[in-house]
Structure 1
Amino acid sequence: MDMQDSRSPLFGGALSAFIPHSATDVSELREIPDNQEVFVHAHTDQSLIVELLEYQGQVADQDAARYHFEDIAGSNKALAPGALAVSNVVSLPRSELSLTECSSAWILTGTQSVSKFNEEAQNTVTLHLGLFRLPQFSTDILITFNDPQRISPDSSSSASVLGSLSTQSWTVQNFHCMLKSLTLHNPGLFGENHG
């Protein structure tokens, strides 16, 4: 674990996880939906999103990460042919997790071609998804690590990213540390208000 990572409360302390260094809590900058916690890297275009989603009971565990990946692609308007690809989906052993309440956990790695703010410019982003299935709470917890690989020169992100290539970016190891450290403190989080 990177010593700069620190355990941060999520959803008012109902959950917590190790959030990587240089993370800015986006809720301090703008309104975020109640079912999300969003963090952006202070100097790169990377982001981490923790989402509480409705449990998709009709989707088999091994297919659920791909289901959510394609759902994100729809939101990102990345459904054009060749705009998204899944490179692998692996199961996370529960023995390695702090969130022992999940029935299963998965990591998906894929890429999407996305535009920011409905711009024409397409950025190639690697998405690392961590999915925790909690059928007893009717909830899927999805953690998404957006790691841009190619920023279009015409994108609004290009200026900020080009000036920060020397900055310490988040790594897949940071992401795995966050997944494995996710801990549930208050199951009331998934109460009647959820959904």
Structure 2
Amino acid sequence: MSHEYKSTPLFGGALVVDLPTNFADVSKLRQVPDNQEVYIDKDGFTSIIVDITERVGPAGGGLESDGRALTTHLEDLVGDDVEGLNVWNTAETEITHLEGIPAYTLIATQTPKSSKSGRQEDQDAARAAGPDFTALILTLIRLEKESTDILVTINVPHIKGEYDEDDVDLELGKQGKLIGNAVEYASRIWESFKVKDWGLFNEI
């Protein structure tokens, strides 16, 4: 299924990217850090976050140090929940309008820790309160000259009753509808992402 997109200015128009039309700017609802833009699906739970962070790792790139940077950012994102993390694949990514700039994307799932209590009702309550698991599609764009890493994270919570459990088995390559949509959003972002004002990276 193809989605409708609109060209969306980020960070005061310094960046431009196509985002799905049914995603809303979270900063209109609550405070968002200056180095982030957050959009959330008005009809679901998926969110898209663009994060401008300090570059991780030594100058000079290469797959090894870029791979380590990707891991570092992923661990920062998931925080203490690293136990339930599975990375399913990692690939080099081409950002159409940033030729020659290294970028990488990974798909991971994060399963929440089960309740420490052994009581079944406590575990059921913990599960009811949160997603069964959250899929993450994380794209890292390495701007070495600007000493900047740009992270584009698509968070896809899978909440019981909101998705078809039989459709999702990443070990078998079955992504299901929600992750399939997120993969489509990601590829549209890679094609449309443009930097309009490189001065942005001096300010943040």
TM range (shorter): 0.7 to 0.9
1:30 aligns with 2:50: no
What corresponds to 1:177 in structure 2? 188
Q: Which whole-Å deviations, capped at 9, do the CAs of 1:19-72 have from their partners, x for residues lacking one?
A: 013101000000000000000000111000000011002471133222211111
Residue by residue over 1:105-149, the C-alpha shift from the partner in whole angstroms, topping out at 9 and shown as x without a partner, is 00111011249xxx9444200100011000111100000001123
Q: After superposition, where does 1:52-71 map in structure 2 within 5 Å? A: 52-58=52-58, 60-71=65-76
Of residues 183, 190, 198 in structure 2, which corresponds to 1:187? Answer: 198
Letter in 1 for 2:146: F
Q: Distance in 1 between matches of 2:148 and 2:112?
A: 27
| Structure of higher CA gyration radius | 2
* One-letter code aligned to 2:68: D
- 1:84/1:98 Cα in 2 relative to 1: closer, same or farther (>3 Å)? same
SS for the counterpart of 1:136 is coil
- How far, CA to CA, are the matches of 1:43 and 1:51 in structure 2? 23
Change (3 A) 1:10 1:105: same
Q: How far apart are the structure 1 equivalents of 2:135 and 2:43? A: 18
- How far apart in 2 are the matches of 1:57 and 1:136? 13
Structure 1 counterpart of 2:94:
93
Q: Give the Cα–Cα distance (whole angstroms) in 1 for the partners of residues 104 and 49 of structure 2.
A: 16
Change (3 A) 1:44 1:107: same
Question: Counterparts of 1:103 and 1:172 in 2: how far apart (Å)?
Answer: 21
Which amino acid is 1:70 matched to?
E
SS in 1 for 2:188: helix
Q: Quick check: 1:66–1:108 contact (8 Å CA) kept in 2?
A: no
CA offset at residue 173 of structure 1? 1.1
Decide whether aligned partners of structure 1 residues 187 and 114 sit closer, same or farther in structure 2, where only a CA change above 3 A counts.
farther
More helix by share: 2
Aligned residues: 170
Q: Which residue of 2 aligns with 1:155?
A: none
Which ranges of structure 2 fall in alignment gaps of 5 or more residues? 59-63, 114-124, 164-176
Q: Which runs of 4+ in 1 moved over 3 A?
A: 119-122, 168-171
Which residue type is aligned with residue 101 of structure 2? S
Are positions 1:144 and 2:153 aligned together? Answer: yes
- Aligned pair partner of 2:81 in 74, 78, 84: 78
TM-score, normalised on structure 2? 0.75
In 2, the alpha carbon distance for the partners of 1:17 and 1:183 equals 6
How far off its partner does 1:98 sit?
1.4
Report the equivalent of 1:44: 44
- The 5 Å alignment of 1:112-151 reads 112-114=110-112, 120-121=126-127, 122-123=130-131, 124-149=133-158, 151=159
Contact kept in structure 2, 1:38 and 1:47, CA below 8 Å: yes
* Distance of 1:103 and 1:171 partners within structure 2: 23
